[in-house]
């Protein structure tokens, strides 16, 4: 028999609610395989960001089981969950969360600073910086022109690409993007998604991408829709 790797995400009968609140998420079953690309949509307040935080081990479920790469995150203490996330999950935050006093390349290499696994794939600091520059260029930025400028002075589209490179560096198994394209026009959004696809494919990362732009769903092989009520229905796109 061939060796089978655990899915990147395996979620069963998961329920989550904020303290003192009824369930916000109630998901029967969700599996995301290595390298798979999933589009997550739903109205504002439906729990998209909350689900991403569960997948990243920032939040833990109220009930049910959530395993990432075979690891039940609820069984890890907070510190171990943080280390697990640093090694295995690249997160593109909605507000990008770039560090204003670091340069562009340093912001990207930050993605592996807390991760022995991601550093091990890249090598020493020079190799990490080389990969940071390669990623930023592959995502469409002129790194030489931009590296000396404060990152907070970059345009939204440029900051988004820096945040994406930081998430991708060191090839984490799971890349999560929370509405990273909402400030861009439709053409720029689609172009960003295509560049992101090329890099997640190169890294072998699975991608979970949240947007409330339904036009982007067509670019993804698979979509999950969170309804305004607390019952989620999976819809497989053709």
- 42: contact with ligand ADP by CB under 6 A: yes
Site for Mg ion in 42-71 (CB under 5 A): 48-49
Q: Which stretch binds ligand ADP (CB under 6 A): 43-51, 102-110, 114-122, 137-145?
A: 43-51
- 50: contact with ligand ADP by CB under 6 A: yes
Least distance from Mg ion to the Cβ atom of residue 180, Å: 11
Q: What share of the chain is helix, strand, coil (3-state, %, to 5)?
A: 40, 20, 40
Which residue lies nearer to Mg ion by CB, 71 or 182?
A: 182
Pick one of 23, 24, 217, 230: the residue that binds ligand ADP (CB under 6 A).
Answer: 24
Q: How far apart are CA 185 and CA 174, in angstroms?
A: 26
Which residue lies nearer to ligand ADP by CB, 49 or 223?
A: 49
Pick one of 10, 16, 27, 46: the residue that binds ligand ADP (CB under 6 A).
Answer: 46
Binding pattern to ligand ADP, positions 2-21, x when CB under 6 A?
Answer: ----------------x---
Tokens of 72: 């039940």
Least distance from ligand ADP to the Cβ atom of residue 6, Å: 26
Residue the block writes with tokens 């916000």:
24
Site for ligand ADP in 65-84 (CB under 6 A): none
Helix (H) or strand (E) holding 55: helix 48-55
Tokens of 112: 């592996």
The count of other CB atoms within 10 Å of the CB of residue 222 is 16
Tell me the β-bridge partners of 222.
38
Least distance from ligand ADP to the Cβ atom of residue 232, Å: 11
Q: Which stretch binds ligand ADP (CB under 6 A): 41-49, 118-126, 138-146, 166-174?
A: 41-49
* Alpha helices (H) along 77-177: 78-88, 104-113, 116-122, 125-138, 143-146, 156-168
| Binder of residue 46, out of Mg ion, ligand ADP, none (CB less than 5 to 8 A by kind) | ligand ADP
CB 112, CB 170: distance < 8 Å: yes
Q: If 0-12 CB within 10 Å is exposed, 13-18 middle and 19+ buried, where does residue 123 land? A: exposed
Which stretches of the chain bind ligand ADP, using CB under 6 A?
A: 18, 24, 42, 44-50
């Amino acid at each position: 028999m061939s060796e089978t790797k655990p899915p990147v995400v395996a979620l069963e009968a998961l329920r989550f609610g904020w303290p003192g609140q009824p369930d916000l998420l109630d998901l029967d079953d969700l599996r995301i395989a290595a390298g798979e690309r999933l589009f997550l949509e739903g109205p504002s307040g439906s729990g998209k960001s909350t689900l991403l935080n569960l997948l990243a081990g920032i939040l833990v479920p109220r009930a049910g089981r959530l395993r990432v790469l075979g690891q039940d995150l609820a069984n890890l203490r907070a510190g171990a969950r943080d280390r697990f996330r640093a090694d295995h999950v690249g997160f593109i935050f909605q507000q990008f969360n770039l560090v204003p006093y670091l340069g562009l390349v340093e912001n990207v290499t930050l993605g592996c600073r807390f991760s022995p696994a991601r550093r091990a794939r890249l090598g020493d600091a020079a190799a990490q910086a080389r990969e940071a520059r390669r990623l930023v260029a592959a995502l469409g930025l002129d790194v030489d022109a931009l590296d000396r400028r404060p990152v907070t002075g970059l345009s939204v589209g440029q900051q988004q690409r820096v945040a994406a490179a930081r998430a991708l560096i060191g090839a984490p198994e799971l890349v999560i993007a929370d509405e990273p394209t909402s400030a861009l026009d439709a053409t720029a959004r689609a172009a960003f998604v295509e560049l992101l696809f090329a890099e997640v494919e190169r890294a072998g990362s699975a991608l979970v991408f949240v947007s409330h732009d339904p036009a982007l769903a067509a670019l993804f092989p698979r979509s999950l829709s969170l309804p305004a009520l607390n019952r989620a229905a999976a819809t497989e796109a053709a």
